[in-house]
Structure 1
Amino acid sequence: MDRVKPRTSCCVLIGDLVGSREVPDRAALHDALAVALSTVDAVRPSRDGLRVTVGDEFQGSYPTLGEALDVALRVRLLLWPDADVRVGVGRGTVTVLDPGRGIEDGPAWWAARAAVEAVEAAADRAPTRLLRTGLRTADGPEDRVAEPGLDTSGPGAAVNAALLCQDHLVGSLSDRSRRLLRGLMDTETTQADLAAAEGISASAVSQRVRADGIGAVLASHRLLRDLP
């Protein structure tokens, strides 16, 4: 019986650590990544488990684009300040080559690979040096997506524009402001809770949310995470 089975369109996420080769204790960093992935997968489960694959690369697949983008930001914030990640999201069809071992292939995977390579290349250009997340859409089941790149037209281009602005804001935040952003992504956490944890006043938290763009990142993220 043929084990190759097509799957309906989904969003595949491929990520890796930025500058991990320069980290003295790579084993500790790998452990931190595994914990972050497990923590996020418990909140936003992937189809087959968000997991480390080879080296410092991790992968997961999701029914919607919004779920994949939600995961990308959550993993990044959990690892900061010890590490940063870049993520490529590919949208398209997936073929299951080996259900027993969870081996997949197809345009969504190729698109995700093209996207993460494009995000890595963007770091070499001053205007996009803080970009960490990008989307590539496969046009059809036969789209091989051979070259690195992100969507530059249609709805995908609008998503990439939002991600560019969001990542620039996040990349410009101080360590404390990133902790506040991470805390406020949990809807049950209040600004008063964060103020107590940081040892500052609630008004100081509120000022940072407004002045540092934390509120804008949260608003952008809420819109992105609801995308189909």
Structure 2
Amino acid sequence: MTSVVTVIGDVRDSRSAPDRQQLHDVLTLALDEVSREVPGRHALRVTAGDEFQGTYVRLGEALAGVFALRLRLSPEVGVRFGIGRGDVTVLDEATGTQDGPGWWSARAAIDAVKAAEQETGWSATRTAYRSSQESDPVQEAVNAALVCQDLLVDSWDARTWSIVRGIMQGRTHSDIASELGISRQAVQQRRSAGLPMVLAAADRLASLP
């Protein structure tokens, strides 16, 4: 057994997608890009239908991978995530089939997200973390941060996501504005609305062991 951080994700409302093949292609491309940007122990890959999985050495890497994937897919493709930590056993090397407490924790986390989405006032929930350890000192703090992150980014429209992507790529306000067909001042106004704070919080989560 090896202790890892596991990620299970799935696409929200995928059955209502007008073109499921296109959705699959967009998802797999994003998974490949994120796996190169934030390398894990096992790359993110589609496992069945609209569900995908991957593993990481550190919790921070998993959180960075999840945020990077949302950055590529939002708001057109909504995704939920369950992040777990615990021992994992490889049952079949040829197929990559795995099992163990690490995966059970990730499954419990994504089930918690699905349940929370149905609760009044919690519809923005997209991410949760569960550890198989009896006492994980960071679990509650990480989940508190994820609740705040989910709430904040849920309010972002397509233009805000585009601006955030531009900022993450290190592009100038003028370049972002030109691409979006808006003024430089409009980009600055959105940036001034707290975007750097959200990105700084994501960076701090990415540093977790």
- 1:131 partner SS: coil
Distance 2:87 2:184 in 1: 47
1:68 aligns with 2:68: no
1:179 aligns with 2:162: yes
Distance 2:173 2:201 in 1: 19
Gaps of 5+ in 1: 1-5, 141-150
Distance 1:13 1:190 in 2: 33
Deviation at 1:93? 1.3
Q: Is the 2:75–2:157 contact (alpha carbons within 8 Å) kept by the matching residues of 1?
A: no
Q: Is the 1:91–1:108 contact (alpha carbons within 8 Å) kept by the matching residues of 2?
A: yes
Percent identity at matched positions?
48
Task: Report the counterpart of residue 203 of structure 1 in structure 2.
Answer: 185
- Using the size of structure 1 for normalisation, the TM-score is 0.86
Task: Report the counterpart of residue 147 of structure 1 in structure 2.
Answer: none
Give the 4+ runs in structure 1 shifted more than 6 A: none
- The AA in structure 1 aligned to 2:164 is L
1:166-216, CA deviations, whole angstroms, 9 ceiling, x for partnerless residues? 111100112101111222223x333333222222233321210122x3222
Q: Is the 1:74–1:182 contact (alpha carbons within 8 Å) kept by the matching residues of 2?
A: no
Gaps of 5+ in 2: none
- 1:53 partner SS: strand
Deviation at 1:25? 1.1
1:106-126, CA deviations, whole angstroms, 9 ceiling, x for partnerless residues? 111000000011111111112
1:132 aligns with 2:114: no
Deviation at 1:224? 0.6
- 1:227 partner SS: coil
1:58 aligns with 2:52: yes
CA 1:190–1:11 in 2, change beyond 3 Å: closer, same or farther? Answer: farther
- Equivalent pairs counted in the alignment come to 209
Deviation at 1:101? 2.1
Q: Is the 2:46–2:53 contact (alpha carbons within 8 Å) kept by the matching residues of 1?
A: yes
Distance 2:188 2:207 in 1: 25
- Using the size of structure 2 for normalisation, the TM-score is 0.94
Distance 1:222 1:165 in 2: 14
